[in-house]
């Protein structure tokens, strides 16, 4: 939600900023034309969130922030923390790091921003509703006057209104107002019975002009837009300009009916001076706001001001101009320069053909690796529908599609992966039998989801372990994650006697230099420290660190012949595309947090090479950080205008919220 809000806010800024040059170009045109432009902008502001969420993405290369001085880039990976009941004991922070702060330390900034924005929207909308209710109360205590009603009917016919509005007199000394969209009402003070015929005629002509122009409806559109963007200064400036041009446009219509400018200006000034705006002014169209009176009087008395109204042709042109601006603006998405067109064009081709299942799933996997989850999800759903049409919804092939979709949701940290795992498990169990090895993965994923919150978690782990042991063998490396997670569950339940042999089995089952073995060693070291076995814990941690270091050494590229630092004329690389690292299941279940520090070389191709671990955080998070970092795209650094290889440091903060 927050990314959409930020995206729409930026686009709203562009839309409002684009309105100002148009207004300046039209400064010699009638006020009705400028009011139409502001009204069209309000419609665009209201449509932006809906269109941004619904339209297909149009990727545009937009360079993001330049790396900070010293080329230490900081990123943050976040995951949803397990609930309070997921673990019986809190996990200790990594060695050398302070314990996380209590109280407000775990509050999500994104949640605070959304809460503040929602509160502001609610306040603005409630204010608008209260204004409408106050106007209705005023109308409820008002009465008609026969002579004024007869004059209003005649003037409505003269103004081209097919249906004359009701004119009511209120006992309070408020200035004339109009409100109501379907059945507009005109409220006058009771003192209007004593007005001169000229003043009464001019006031009613002004209110008829508002009704003819549908100003109550357009004001509601603008008020809703400002409520949605209440935090944006340009929105309030647009409201001010909208109100000013609306009154001038109505004044132009009154003058067009033959009113003398000097006489009309005199009556307008007297009304603004002697009468009060009504309660709920935001929901009504008042005749004379004191803050606008000076500009209006100058416009009324100036003889060379162009006056006139806007027809349906002008409205159609304004609508087309706003649509031409809002539609591409809403569809626009930032993308790395190297990625533009790489995903969208093949994406559209595959969707058009709709027949090549393997190509569709291969493309979706590539998009997932590039961090383009929004583009990958519809492709995975289309592939699932194709599997259902070809093989049936109870087939193992359809279950395979459910697994792919569930993995995707799990990699995005979304909790709605669990229904897909359950459905895949049920289909595979019915089609393949209760002991088939394809049941192990969904059983393990469901056990992780229930870890610490549901007593069924242990039985799911045990069943996955039993099936895997029979299918793969007791010492198969594929059992290591199951044994590790089950041991962690026992550890969090303070069942040390059960946890320790599980960790021992997991370490023995995992491949000697695998990340799974390192994870099991790191969690086992925590258990040993809880038992005051510091020496054994340190040995396990050192062994795990050695495995992590060896893994990075095996995957590192050959170092560049020469690398540069950002100094002495070397310009820093600019980050164009960023993929945030994910959380491993074990780190999330263990409530593990910390900071991984990596060194990289940003090559001539704009990619991160020779990724090395300077300080690890463990439990697979270092590998997640490196995996994401290799997908980042930079504009290469330069020296004397030529691209060069630049060394940089990346800090990735892993936090649970």
Query: Distance between CA 201 and CA 209 in Å, rounded?
Result: 12
Terminal alpha carbon distance of the chain: 16
Residue 514: name the closest of 543, 548, 541, 485 by CA: 548
Query: Distance between CA 183 and CA 211 in Å, rounded?
Result: 10
Beta strand 633-635 with 608-615 is: unpaired
Identify whether the C-beta of residue 26 lies closer than 8 Å to the C-beta of residue 37.
yes
The residues near 317 (Cβ < 8 Å, ≥ 6 apart) are none
Task: Output the pLDDT for position 89.
Answer: 38
Beta strand 594-602 with 570-571 is: unpaired
Identify whether the C-beta of residue 522 lies closer than 8 Å to the C-beta of residue 540.
yes
Query: Distance between CA 114 and CA 471 in Å, rounded?
Result: 49
What is the pTM (predicted TM-score) of this model?
A: 0.52
The order of strands in the sheet holding 646-656 is: 72-79, 646-656, 594-602, 608-615
Domains and CATH numbers, the chain: 1-69+84-140+205-335 (no CATH), 474-554 (1.25.40.10), 557-656 (3.30.2420.10)
221-227-229-235 Cα dihedral, nearest 10 degrees: 60
Q: What is residue 650's three-state secondary structure?
A: strand
**Residue positions counted in the chain:** 657
Residue 399: name the closest of 419, 368, 377, 421 by CA: 421
Helix axes 109-140, 215-228, angle to 10 degrees: 150
Task: Output the pLDDT for position 567.
Answer: 78
Identify whether the C-beta of residue 253 lies closer than 8 Å to the C-beta of residue 35.
no
Identify whether the C-beta of residue 541 lies closer than 8 Å to the C-beta of residue 526.
no
647 burial class (0-12, 13-18, 19+ CB within 10 angstroms)? middle
The order of strands in the sheet holding 185-189 is: 166-170, 185-189, 177-179, 285-286
**Token pair of 167, please?**
């004119």
Specify the DSSP element, H or E, that contains 652: strand 646-656
Q: Which residue has the tokens 């320069």?
A: 337
**Token pair of 642, please?**
């030529």
Identify whether the C-beta of residue 198 lies closer than 8 Å to the C-beta of residue 155.
no
| Main-chain dihedrals φ then ψ at residue 189, nearest 5 degrees | -70, 155
Count of Cβ atoms closer than 10 Å to residue 600 Cβ: 24
Q: Quote the longest CA-to-CA distance of the chain.
A: 103
Query: Distance between CA 529 and CA 482 in Å, rounded?
Result: 22
Report angle CA 237, 240, 246 to the nearest 5 degrees: 140
Question: What is the SS3 assignment for 555-619?
Answer: HCCCCCCCCECCCCCEECCEEEECCCCCCCHHHHHCCCCEEEEEEEEECCCCCEEEEEEEECCCC
Query: Distance between CA 595 and CA 616 in Å, rounded?
Result: 7
Report angle CA 574, 575, 581 to the nearest 5 degrees: 155
Identify whether the C-beta of residue 583 lies closer than 8 Å to the C-beta of residue 621.
yes
Question: Which residues sit opposite 334 in a β-bridge?
Answer: 60
Count of Cβ atoms closer than 10 Å to residue 126 Cβ: 11
Query: Distance between CA 514 and CA 547 in Å, rounded?
Result: 7
Residue 156: name the closest of 215, 190, 204, 202 by CA: 204
**Token pair of 629, please?**
């970092």
Could you list the mean pLDDT of each consecutive 10-residue stretch along the chain, which spans 657 residues? 74 86 82 90 89 70 41 64 42 38 46 85 91 86 88 88 88 86 88 90 92 91 93 91 90 88 89 76 79 82 83 86 84 52 40 61 77 79 89 92 88 78 93 92 90 88 92 90 92 92 93 93 93 93 92 80 82 86 88 90 90 90 90 89 90 83
Residue 158: name the closest of 195, 192, 208 by CA: 208
The residues near 414 (Cβ < 8 Å, ≥ 6 apart) are none
| Main-chain dihedrals φ then ψ at residue 224, nearest 5 degrees | -65, -40
Handedness of CA 635, 638, 642, 644 (dihedral sign): negative
Specify the DSSP element, H or E, that contains 371: none
Query: Distance between CA 327 and CA 642 in Å, rounded?
Result: 39
Q: What is residue 60's three-state secondary structure?
A: strand
Residue 595 to residues 38, 411, 568, 601: CA-CA distances in angstroms? Answer: 49, 20, 30, 20
Identify whether the C-beta of residue 24 lies closer than 8 Å to the C-beta of residue 69.
no
Handedness of CA 429, 435, 436, 439 (dihedral sign): positive
Residue 61 to residues 10, 29, 54, 604: CA-CA distances in angstroms? Answer: 16, 38, 21, 19
Residue 602 to residues 63, 598, 615, 649: CA-CA distances in angstroms? Answer: 16, 12, 19, 10
């Amino acid at each position: 939600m927050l990314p959409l809000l930020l995206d729409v806010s930026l686009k709203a800024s562009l839309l409002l900023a684009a309105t100002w040059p148009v207004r300046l170009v039209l400064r010699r045109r009638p006020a009705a034309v400028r009011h139409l432009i502001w009204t069209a902008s309000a419609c665009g502001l209201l449509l932006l969130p809906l269109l941004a969420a619904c339209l297909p993405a149009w990727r545009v290369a937009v360079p993001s922030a330049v790396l900070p001085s010293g080329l230490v880039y900081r990123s943050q990976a976040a995951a949803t923390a397990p609930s309070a009941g997921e673990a019986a004991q809190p996990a200790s922070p990594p060695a050398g790091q302070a314990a996380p702060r209590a109280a407000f330390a775990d509050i999500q900034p994104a949640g605070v921003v959304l809460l503040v924005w929602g509160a502001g929207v609610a306040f603005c909308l409630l204010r608008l509703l209260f204004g409408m209710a106050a106007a209705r109360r005023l109308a409820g205590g008002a009465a008609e006057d026969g002579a004024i009603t007869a004059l209003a009917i005649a003037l409505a016919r003269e103004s081209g209104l097919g249906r004359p509005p009701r004119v009511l007199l209120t006992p309070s000394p408020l200035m004339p107002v109009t409100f109501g969209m379907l059945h507009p009402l005109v409220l006058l003070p009771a003192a209007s019975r004593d007005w001169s015929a000229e003043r009464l005629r001019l006031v009613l002509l002004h209110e008829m002009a508002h009704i003819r122009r549908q100003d109550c409806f357009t004001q509601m559109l603008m008020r809703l837009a400002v409520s949605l963007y209440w935090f944006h200064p340009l929105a309030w400036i647009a409201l001010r300009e909208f109100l000013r041009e609306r009154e001038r446009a109505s004044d132009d219509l009154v003058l067009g009916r033959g009113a003398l400018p000097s006489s009309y200006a005199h009556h307008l000034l007297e009304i603004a001076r002697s009468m009060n705006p009504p309660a709920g002014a935001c929901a009504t169209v008042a005749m004379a706001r004191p803050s606008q009176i000076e500009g209006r009087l100058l416009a009324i008395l100036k003889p060379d001001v162009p006056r006139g109204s806007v027809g349906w042709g002008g409205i159609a042109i304004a609508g087309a101009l706003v649509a031409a601006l809002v539609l591409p603006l809403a569809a626009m998405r930032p993308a790395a320069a190297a990625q533009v067109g790489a995903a969208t064009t093949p994406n559209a081709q595959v969707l058009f053909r709709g027949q090549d299942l393997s190509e569709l799933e291969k493309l979706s996997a590539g998009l997932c690796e590039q961090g383009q989850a929004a583009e990958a999800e519809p492709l995975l759903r289309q592939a699932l529908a194709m599997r259902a049409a070809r093989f049936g919804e109870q087939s193992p092939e359809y279950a395979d599609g459910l697994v792919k979709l569930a993995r995707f949701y799990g990699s995005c940290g979304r909790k709605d992966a669990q229904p897909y795992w359950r459905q895949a498990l049920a289909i595979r169990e019915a089609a393949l039998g209760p002991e088939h090895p394809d049941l192990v993965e969904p059983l393990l994923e469901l056990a992780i989801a229930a870890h610490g919150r549901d007593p069924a978690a242990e039985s799911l782990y045990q069943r996955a372990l039993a099936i895997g042991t029979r299918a793969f063998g007791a010492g198969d490396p594929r059992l290591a994650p199951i044994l590790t997670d089950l041991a962690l569950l026992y550890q969090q339940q303070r069942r040390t006697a059960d946890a320790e042999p599980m960790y021992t089995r997991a370490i023995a089952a995992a491949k000697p230099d695998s990340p799974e073995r390192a994870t099991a060693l790191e969690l086992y070291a925590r258990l040993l420290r809880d038992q005051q076995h510091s020496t054994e814990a340190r040995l396990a941690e050192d062994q795990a660190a050695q495995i992590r270091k060896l893994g990075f050494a095996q995957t590192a590229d050959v170092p560049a012949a020469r690398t540069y630092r950002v100094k002495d004329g070397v310009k820093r690389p600019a980050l164009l595309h960023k993929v945030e690292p994910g959380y491993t299941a074990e780190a999330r279940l263990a409530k593990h947090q910390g900071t991984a520090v990596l060194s990289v070389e940003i090559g001539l191709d704009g990619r991160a090479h020779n990724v090395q671990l300077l300080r690890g955080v463990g439990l697979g998070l270092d590998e997640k950080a490196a995996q994401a970092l290799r997908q980042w795209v930079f504009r290469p650094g330069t020296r004397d205008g030529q691209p060069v290889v630049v060394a940089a440091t990346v800090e990735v903060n892993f936090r649970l919220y």
